[in-house]
Amino acid sequence: KAGVTQTPRYLIKTRGQQVTLSCSPISGHRSVSWYQQTPGQGLQFLFEYFSETQRNKGNFPGRFSGRQFSNSRSEMNVSTLELGDSALYLCASSFLTLAVNNEQFFGPGTRLTVL
Amino acid sequence: AQSVTQLGSHVSVSEGALVLLRCNYSSSVPPYLFWYVQYPNQGLQLLLKYTTGATLVKGINGFEAEFKKSETSFHLTKPSAHMSDAAEYFCAVSDRGRGGGTSYGKLTFGQGTILTVHP
């Protein structure tokens, strides 16, 4: 069974641009969560999507958004990029919503660098 | 709000020595508890988890952890370190789900502990 895949693996953008990251969950998984990992703040929860609905949201500004498609694939978008958005963005999938079954499987991440 | 504290951002051991990585949590009710490992340029891999039942949990690669409610701790141990154990380890907690449309279960992570294993 294929694991969680994230594309692209590496991305370089400049301040003010926007970026879209993609995540394909494990086949059959319906929950996708996103996390930001930085040296200063560590791992922080961004949001969870389940059955195309946002179920939970972390403490991030509105520039961070996401969506989930009917095939459970998810995208997250960051608009008006800032230098501080440079991070490893991790996607995790779970069979059910985190409220019911919170065993999550992580992808390799997308390394975003903002110049 | 939940919080997780990992004591020691860096731990160094010799190959064959005991590995002990400390984790304490703060939560109003006993949460679900997890340990993840992250190798360079990779995502997180679940080592073990505690949800309910036996408080001593065995995971992959010879790791185990014990949930101690009275100490609000979930320390990770391995009797004999191997060079391949060198990585960063994260302790995490999540609320127990309530269902009914209310979403819980997001992971709150500790700051991580980098484990170095010397030959």
What are the tens digits of pLDDT across the range B26-85? Answer: 876 777 889 999 998 889 999 998 887 888 999 999 999 999 989 999 999 999 999 999
Question: In the predicted model, is pLDDT for residue A100 greater than 70?
Answer: no
- The answer to whether the beta carbons of residues A22 and A75 sit under 8 Å apart is yes
pLDDT recorded at residue B87? 97
Query: Is B46 in CB contact (< 8 Å) with chain A?
Result: yes
Query: Is A17 in CB contact (< 8 Å) with chain B?
Result: no
Contacts of B98 in chain A (CB under 8 A): 99
Residue A78 binned pLDDT confidence (cut-offs 50, 70, 90): very high
Query: Is B39 in CB contact (< 8 Å) with chain A?
Result: no
- The answer to whether the beta carbons of residues B89 and B115 sit under 8 Å apart is yes
Closest C-alpha among B30, B6, B1 to residue B112? B6
Average pLDDT for residues A28-36, to the nearest whole number? 93
- Residue B7 φ then ψ, to 5°: -80, 120
Model confidence pLDDT, tens digit, residues A33-54: 999 999 989 999 999 998 899 9
Task: Give the mutation candidate from B23, B102, B107 for the A interface (greatest A CB count, under 10 A).
Answer: B107
- State the smallest CA–CA distance between residue A16 and chain B in angstroms: 26
Question: In the predicted model, is pLDDT for residue B99 greater than 50?
Answer: no
Nearest to B49 among A50, A100, A103 (CB): A103
Higher pLDDT, B102 or B36: B36
